[in-house]
Amino acid sequence: MAQDGKIMAAALRRFQLDKDRRRAELERRTGEVYRRLPRLESIDRELRGTAAKLVIAAFQEDGDAAIKELERSNLALQRERELLLAGAGYASDYLDETPACRLCQDSGYLRDGTPCRCLMAYYTREQNRRLSKLLDLGNQSFDTFSFDWYSDEVWPEFGRSPLENMEMIRELCGNYAHKFGRRSGNLLFTGAPGLGKTFLSACIAREVSDLGFSVVYDTAGHIMQQFESGKFGRENPYEEDPDREIDRYLNCDLLIVDDLGTEMLTSFVQSVVYRLINDRLLNRKKTILSTNLSVDRLGERYGEAVRSRLLGEYQILRFFGEDIRILKQEQ
């Protein structure tokens, strides 16, 4: 899985903040107990000095006996410590520094250098936080997807009803998200506005992100702005570093491009669309394109090479029916 460096950096900051909070809480508890039980503080001080005492004992003439005596003394101190804590109403581990994650001991990384699942949970939350700025991940999920707005009357040009069509698309998108991986394909959502393309994009983004993959969702217009700023050094109205954003578009595990075909068309935009599609295919990175245009119209707009790749490498899902936004307004 590819990790977004910017998102991982933010995840590490939050990971460290939580570690610091736990450490501060332990220090608070320790101070509280030491004020109530001064003897406990002196016991802990003695126990912390055990390592140095062992070194000294090892070099004594009767080192073995000294070490055994030290062990006996330590056991007595530990029993006294437990009795003091219990007598004051504290659990025996109240002052123990126990790691929140036993796999990585709160380092965030395993022995082989890969991120631990505890750190990846921070990564996923941070990624979802960023996705939520563009997508309503809180309300948009496969569980909340409603078929109520799709008619069960057959549309002759499609040979099925909008309801039947959306049941098929919903099942396919759910399987795509739940089983996402290197063997997954690419999807092209095409159809008029207000039919659920963005909603299902959000559902997939949420599920794939929760699996630990890097997901980038953006509009075609914003993507083109970043490429233009990176190529020509034009003023960028956004705060992002265009080079870093371009790297994210090209290398994330799943790129979702919304509103393809609404951006101003130039020869540079045509080259960017081709590069996005072609480079990600070559690198086996997965892409979902959402557009109001047909494949033929996309070919007219971006060229035959793009059309050929869409037909050969993308599963095309055609959305049709009545505009849900208008139906909701009429209620």
pLDDT tens-place string over residues 155-171: 999 999 999 999 999 99
Report in angstroms the alpha-carbon separations of 192 from 10, 152, 323, 330.
37, 18, 8, 18
The span from the CA of 123 to the CA of 137, in Å, is 16
Pairing of strands 254-260, 215-219: parallel
Percent of the chain with pLDDT over 90: 51
Would you state the structure tokens that stand for residue 202, as one six-digit string? 């959000």
Which position has the token pair 């935009």? 269
Find the mean pLDDT for residues 297-314.
96
Mean residue pLDDT across the chain? 87
Least confident of 25-34, 91-100, 301-310: 91-100
The span from the CA of 171 to the CA of 146, in Å, is 13
The span from the CA of 325 to the CA of 195, in Å, is 8
Find the mean pLDDT for residues 122-138.
74
The span from the CA of 168 to the CA of 99, in Å, is 46
Tell me: pLDDT of 233 over 60: no
Tell me: pLDDT of 216 over 70: yes
**Greatest pairwise CA separation for the chain in angstroms:** 100
**Residues 252, 215 contacting (CB under 8 angstroms):** yes
Which residues, at least 6 apart from 250, have a Cβ–Cβ distance to it below 8 Å?
Answer: 276, 279, 280, 283, 285
Tell me: pLDDT of 111 over 80: yes
Using alpha carbons, select from 161, 269, 166, 255 the residue that is nearest to residue 217: 255
Find the mean pLDDT for residues 41-49.
87
**Residues 260, 220 contacting (CB under 8 angstroms):** yes
Q: Identify the band that residue 138 occupies on the pLDDT scale cut at 50, 70 and 90.
A: low
Report in angstroms the alpha-carbon separations of 247 from 20, 131, 155, 251.
32, 17, 42, 6
Q: Identify the band that residue 272 occupies on the pLDDT scale cut at 50, 70 and 90.
A: very high
Using alpha carbons only, give the angle 294, 299, 302 rounded to the nearest 5 degrees: 120
Name the 3-class secondary structure at 276: helix
Q: Identify the band that residue 269 occupies on the pLDDT scale cut at 50, 70 and 90.
A: very high
**Residues 72, 57 contacting (CB under 8 angstroms):** no
Q: How many residues does the chain have?
A: 331
What is the pLDDT at residue 63? 64
What is the pLDDT at residue 57? 67
Tell me: pLDDT of 239 over 60: no
Which position has the token pair 């960028």? 236
What is the pLDDT at residue 302? 96
Find the mean pLDDT for residues 86-92.
90
Tell me: pLDDT of 4 over 90: no
What is the pLDDT at residue 65? 75
What is the pLDDT at residue 248? 87
Q: Identify the band that residue 298 occupies on the pLDDT scale cut at 50, 70 and 90.
A: very high
Report in angstroms the alpha-carbon separations of 273 from 50, 263, 296.
66, 11, 15
Pairing of strands 314-319, 286-291: unpaired
Q: Identify the band that residue 190 occupies on the pLDDT scale cut at 50, 70 and 90.
A: very high
